[in-house]
Amino acid sequence: MDEKQSFENFFESISLDSLSEYQSSIESLTKLLNKKYYDLDSVDDHCLVVGSVGRQTAVSETSDLDLLFVLPQEVYTRFNAYDSNGQSALLQEVKKTIKSRYPKTDIKGDGQAVVINFTDRFYSIDLVPAFEQDDGSFKYPDSNDGGSWKKTDPIPEQDACSTLFEKTDGDGKRLCNALRVWKNALGFHFKGLLIDTLVNNFYSQDDRSGEPYDLLADLFEFLSEQDREQSFWHALGSNQQVTNDDGGAFVPKAKKAHGKLIDATSSDEKEQALIDLFGKSFSDAVVDGSSDSEEAQFASKYGVAIEERFVEDIFKVDIRRSMDIDCEVIQRGFRPSLLRDMLSRHCPLLRRRSLHFFVVNAASFRDCVFYWKVRNCGEAAFQRNCIRGEIQRGNKDGFHDEKTDFVGPHYVECYAVRSGVCIARSRIEVPIS
Same domain, 229 and 310: no
In terms of phi and psi (left: phi > 0; alpha: psi -120 to 50; beta: otherwise), the region of 404 is: beta
Same domain, 304 and 318: yes
Same domain, 139 and 30: yes
Highest mean pLDDT pick, 57-61, 151-155, 242-246, 346-350: 151-155
In a domain, 270, yes or no: no
Query: 305 and 411 in contact (C-beta within 8 Å)?
Result: no
Same domain, 318 and 351: yes
pLDDT of 291 above 90 = no
In a domain, 391, yes or no: yes
Same domain, 131 and 188: no
In a domain, 361, yes or no: yes
Query: 199 and 208 in contact (C-beta within 8 Å)?
Result: no
Domain of 104?
19-152
| Domain boundary pick from 213, 244, 261 | 261
For residue 156, what pLDDT band results from cuts at 50, 70 and 90? very high
Q: Say how far apart CA 339 and CA 349 lie, in whole Å.
A: 8
Same domain, 395 and 365: yes
Q: What is the pLDDT of residue 62?
A: 87
Same domain, 57 and 125: yes
Same domain, 129 and 164: no
Ranges 52-56, 154-158, 322-326, 342-346: which has the least confidence: 342-346
Q: What is the pLDDT of residue 292?
A: 64
In a domain, 287, yes or no: no
Span 120-152, pLDDT tens digits? 777 899 999 999 999 999 999 999 999 999 999
In a domain, 326, yes or no: yes
| Domain boundary pick from 214, 245, 261 | 261
In a domain, 409, yes or no: yes
In a domain, 32, yes or no: yes
| Domain boundary pick from 261, 276, 304 | 261
Span 345-362, pLDDT tens digits? 888 888 888 999 999 989
Span 376-431, pLDDT tens digits? 988 999 999 999 999 999 999 999 999 988 888 999 999 999 988 999 999 999 99
Query: 417 and 371 in contact (C-beta within 8 Å)?
Result: yes
When pLDDT is averaged across residues 236-254 and rounded to a whole number, the result is 95
Same domain, 250 and 307: no
Same domain, 62 and 84: yes
In a domain, 280, yes or no: no
- Total domains in the fold of the chain: 3
Q: Write down the pTM of the prediction.
A: 0.92
pLDDT of 333 above 70 = no
Same domain, 147 and 189: no
